[in-house]
Amino acid sequence: MRFSTELARLATFATVWLGIVGASPSHYAKPDSDDTAWDGTLENIITRDVCVIGGGASGTYAAIRLRELGQSVALIEKEDHLGGHTRTYHDPETGTPIDYGVWVYENNTEATNFFAHFNVSLTVQDFTRVSEGSQRYDLRTGEPVAPPAGNITDAILRYTEQLLKYPYLAEGWDLPDPVPEDLLLSFRDFVAKYDLAAAVEVITLYVQGLNRNILDYPMVYIMKYFSLGVLQGIQKGFSTTETHDNQALYAAAQAELGEDVLLSSTAISIRREVVDPETGSEEQHHILVRTPTGVTLIKANKLLVTIPPILSNLEPFDLDDRERSIFAQFQHSFYYTTVLTLSGIPSDVQILNRGNDTEYNIPVLPGAYVFSPSSLPGTFMGFFGGGDQNLREEEVRGIVQDNALSLRNAGYDLETPDILAYANHSPFELFVFAEEIGNGFYRDLYSLQGYRGTWYSGAAFHAHSSAALWKFTESVLVDKVLSD
pLDDT bracket for residue 326 (50, 70, 90)? very high
Using pLDDT thresholds of 50, 70 and 90, give the confidence band for residue 16: very low
Predicted confidence at residue 55, as pLDDT, reads: 98
Mean pLDDT on 313-338: 97
Q: Is 243 helix (H, G, I), strand (E, B) or coil?
A: coil
pLDDT in tens, 463-475: 999 999 999 999 9
Percent of the chain with pLDDT over 90: 82
Cα separations in angstroms, 44 against 41, 202, 298: 9, 52, 9
Poorest-pLDDT segment among 6-10, 333-337, 353-357, 433-437: 6-10
Which range among 88-92, 154-158, 280-284, 373-377 shows the weakest confidence by mean pLDDT?
280-284
Q: How many CB atoms neighbour CB 318 within 10 A?
A: 15
Min mean pLDDT across 42-46, 68-72, 470-474 is at: 42-46
Mean pLDDT of 73-77: 98
pLDDT of residue 41: 54
The pLDDT of residue 127 is: 58
Q: State residue 12's pLDDT score.
A: 44
Average pLDDT for 386-398:
95
- AA letter at 390: N
Backbone angles phi, psi at 313, to 5 degrees: -75, -20
d(CA 292, CA 303): 22
Q: Can you list the domains of the chain with their CATH numbers?
A: 41-85+243-330+432-481 (3.50.50.60), 127-236+331-430 (3.30.70.1990)
pLDDT band at 201 (very low <50, low <70, confident <90, very high): very high
Instruction: Name the nearest CA neighbour of 335 among 391, 397, 400.
Output: 391
366: preceding bond cis by omega (within 30 degrees): yes
Lowest average pLDDT, out of 7-21, 229-243, 246-260, 446-460, goes to 7-21
